[in-house]
Amino acid sequence: MKRFVPLWVAFVFTIGWITAGPVGDGCAQTAAQAELREKVEALLERVNQLERSVSTLGAELISLEDRLNRVRPQPRLIYYKLPKEVTICGERIPLEDRKVWENLNQEFIAALGNEAQIILWMKRVRRYFPPIEKRLKEMSLPDDLKYVTITESALRPYAVSSSGAAGIWQFIPATGEKYGMRGYGGIDERFDFFKATEGALSYLRSLYEEFGNWPIAIAAYNCGENRMRREIEFQRMKSYFYLDLPLETERYVYKIAVAKIILSDPLKYGFRLDEEEYYEPLRIDRVQVELSQPLPIIDLAIALQVPYKEIKEMNLHLSGEVIPAGIHFLNLPAGMTERFKAYLLLRKESERR
Give the number of C-alpha atoms closer than 13 A to the C-alpha of residue 81, restricted to the C-beta side. 5
Instruction: Tell whether 272 and 289 lie within a shared domain.
Output: no
Instruction: Tell whether 127 and 152 lie within a shared domain.
Output: yes
Instruction: Tell whether 111 and 227 lie within a shared domain.
Output: yes
Round to whole Å and give the CA distance between 253 and 219.
Answer: 6
176 is a domain residue: yes
Residue 303 structural domain: 284-352
Instruction: Tell whether 224 and 346 lie within a shared domain.
Output: no
Q: Which helix (H) or strand (E) holds 295?
A: strand 295-296
Q: Is the pLDDT of residue 2 over 70?
A: no
Instruction: Tell whether 23 and 160 lie within a shared domain.
Output: no
Instruction: Tell whether 65 and 180 lie within a shared domain.
Output: no
Instruction: Tell whether 50 and 26 lie within a shared domain.
Output: yes
Query: Stretch 311-319: mean pLDDT, rounded?
Result: 96
Query: Stretch 231-251: mean pLDDT, rounded?
Result: 97
State the pLDDT at residue 1. Answer: 46
Give the number of C-alpha atoms closer than 13 A to the C-alpha of residue 75, restricted to the C-beta side. 2
Query: Stretch 77-96: mean pLDDT, rounded?
Result: 89
Rounded alpha-carbon distances, angstroms, from residue 313 to 157, 195, 296, 331, 339 = 10, 16, 15, 9, 19
- Higher per-residue pLDDT: 184 or 51: 184
Q: Is the pLDDT of residue 252 over 70?
A: yes
pLDDT over 70, % of the chain: 88
pTM of the complete model: 0.77
Instruction: Tell whether 148 and 46 lie within a shared domain.
Output: no
Query: Mean pLDDT lowest for which of 27-36, 87-96, 187-196, 272-281?
Result: 27-36
Q: Is 221:171 a contact under the CB 8 Å cutoff?
A: no
Instruction: Tell whether 12 and 121 lie within a shared domain.
Output: no
Total structural domains in the chain? 3
